[in-house]
Amino acid sequence: MEQKQQQLSLAQKRSLPMFFIIARPRSGTTMLRTLFDRHPNVVIPLESPFMLRYYWKYRNVKVWTREKILDFYNDIADENEPEYLNIRKWTVDLQQLREDLLALEGNTSYTELCKVVNASYESLFPKQEIKLVGDKNPVYSNRAEYLLKMFPDAKFIHMVRDYRDYLQSMLRAGFVKGITPIIAHRWRKSLKLNFKLQRKYPDQFYFVRYEDFVEEPEKYFQKMCDFLEIPYEEQIFDFHNYKEKFLEHYGVEDLELYHSKLFRPISNKNVGDWREQLNKEQVIVAEAVTGKTAEKAGYPRAYKKIPVSIRLKVQPIRIYLFATKMVGETMRKLPHNMKLQKFMERGPMLGKKYWELVKTKK
């Protein structure tokens, strides 16, 4: 008989330790999140980047009044926002969550509010004693330092996929407007930032390559469990047997959106797809951007020389990225403005126009 999820008290929700899965999109994090969600001692909700999305709005709140807590609740449950930005797709008792948050009036922090939200997620997998609360959002892959400010004792699992397989997957999905150098830049930036944090906090970061994990998933998942100080549970690899249960709740359309590849056994068959999917120029552009950083992660270059013509094409994108970085840093020092934040979230539109112009020129 399957066990229902443990009903956590508000005190337990506030006190459970946190961990984060960080990686660029299309890097195996949904698979990894599902494995942890299948673990009987872990609760880890679907993606919703509310923690950092509203961090700059609420980071300076010292006194959490009823009105301020309701503002926060209405933000994370806003029906007018895209579904991936709120928690309405979660299996969560919104009324109970609202009551729990209001019960923290006065004596709380933004960090505690966020933890209570994640701990309120009700997994569709059977659970025993909940010992750990997780979070997985690829948009956090370049922002782990802010998560550490919020959760200084949290642990991080940092997964990296070959930047060329990552690139071809991102291009196929139409992410980041299909701008190869920006996709490669964000991969490199994420790797550099998280390697730096790993050197600074070696006991809080666990690094794993996607290719190694899918080759030997049991071996590496056991290492992750040891890192997180939870027991290794072999049955987590039967997650693909729960498809019907997920269909009962999400339906076919949502299942394809959130879990399209989840109900298949783990496989390494997609490793190295870039050799067939990317053309030579795409690979060289990516290697021009990632440089030695990729080699430090164990991904040797396919081409040793970068033509001057490629460097010249990429340079304006580098300048554009530097400018947007400066704008972002300035924004974070100013009073919070949600309209300006949403404008920045729209993505690299100027970069898209430039890249569409130069990528067709030979």
Q: Report if residue 91 sits inside a domain.
A: yes
Q: Report if residue 165 sits inside a domain.
A: yes
Contacts of 341 (CB under 8 A, 6+ apart): 53, 56, 331
Q: What is the mean pLDDT of residues 45-65?
A: 92
According to DSSP, residue 3 is labeled P
Contacts of 64 (CB under 8 A, 6+ apart): 104, 105, 106, 108, 109, 113
Provide the pLDDT for residue 266.
Answer: 87
pLDDT digits (tens, 9 = 90+) for 243-280: 777 777 666 665 565 555 566 778 899 999 999 999 99
Q: Report if residue 58 sits inside a domain.
A: yes
| CATH code at position 55 | 3.40.50.300
d(CA 157, CA 209): 11
Least-confidence region, from 30-44, 115-129, 292-306, 321-335: 321-335
**Is residue 351 scored above 60 in pLDDT?**
no
Q: Report if residue 119 sits inside a domain.
A: yes
Q: Which residue range forms the structural domain that includes residue 164?
A: 10-280
**Is residue 180 scored above 60 in pLDDT?**
yes
Q: Report if residue 3 sits inside a domain.
A: no
- Range ranked top by mean pLDDT from 92-106, 166-180, 263-277: 92-106
Query: Where is 71: in which H helix or E strand?
Result: helix 66-76
Q: What is the mean pLDDT of residues 279-299?
A: 93
**Is residue 1 scored above 50 in pLDDT?**
no
Q: Report if residue 336 sits inside a domain.
A: no
pLDDT digits (tens, 9 = 90+) for 124-139: 898 989 999 999 999 9
Maximum separation of any 2 CA atoms in the chain, in Å: 65
Q: How many structural domains does the chain have?
A: 1
Quote the mean pLDDT of the chain. 87
d(CA 29, CA 143): 16
116 with 14: CB under 8 angstroms? yes
Q: What is the mean pLDDT of residues 187-208?
A: 96
Q: Report if residue 168 sits inside a domain.
A: yes
Q: Report if residue 295 sits inside a domain.
A: no
Q: Which of 158, 152, 165 is nearest to 198 (CA)?
A: 158
Least-confidence region, from 43-52, 115-124, 295-304, 313-322: 313-322
Provide the pLDDT for residue 168.
Answer: 94
Q: How confident is the model at residue 347 (pLDDT cuts 50, 70, 90)?
A: low
According to DSSP, residue 23 is labeled -
**In terms of C-beta density within 10 A (0-12 exposed, 13-18 middle, 19 or more buried), how is residue 275 classed?**
exposed
